[in-house]
Amino acid sequence: MVVGLYDNYHETQKEILAIEIRKTRNKLITIAVIIFVFDLIALSMINTISLQTMIWVSVLPLVIIGLALFSIKEPLAAMVIAAMIIAGLWIYSIAVTGGLAAISGWLGKAIIIYLLFAGFQNAIEATRIKKELKSAL
């Protein structure tokens, strides 16, 4: 009786782990899409859409998508790296523009911050479950 309950708990935890990893991955993909869309909107507003600018605008979303793939193995590490990259780029853009970047694009920044916090919650839960499953074996 107890062994059956433990097996069910173990299987349930595996399913929850898969769900939390998928949520973390989806949040990172959504962040990449939002960054790309808002950068594309910014480029279209100043009429500088060209192949070269499209390549430059695509670099960060592709890195974030790469982190989304990495989050399948290490969700918390992927979220930390994504947050550090995004914060670093925001700090750099604020330093370059003299503070203008701090207030421009606030809607996109707010959405990205929300997604980062939500992704961290999912990644922390996934890491906790992963450790629990490893210690149970």
Contacts of 61 (CB under 8 A, 6+ apart): 32, 33, 35, 36
> pLDDT tens, 60-74?
999 999 999 999 999
- Residues 21, 52: Cα–Cα separation, whole Å: 34
33, pLDDT greater than 70: yes
49 band by pLDDT with thresholds 50, 70 and 90: confident
Of residues 86 and 11, more confidence is placed in: 86
> pLDDT tens, 112-130?
999 999 999 999 999 999 9
3, pLDDT greater than 70: no
Which of 38, 25, 42, 21 is closest to 115 using CA atoms?
25
Helix intervals (H) in the chain: 2-45, 51-70, 75-97, 100-103, 106-136
Query: For residue 121, how many other CB atoms are within 10 A of its CB?
Result: 15
Helix (H, G, I), strand (E, B) or coil at 73: coil
Per-residue pLDDT, averaged over 22-32, amounts to 97
- State the Cα angle at 16 between 11 and 21, rounded to 5°: 125
Residue located via tokens 């590490």: 77
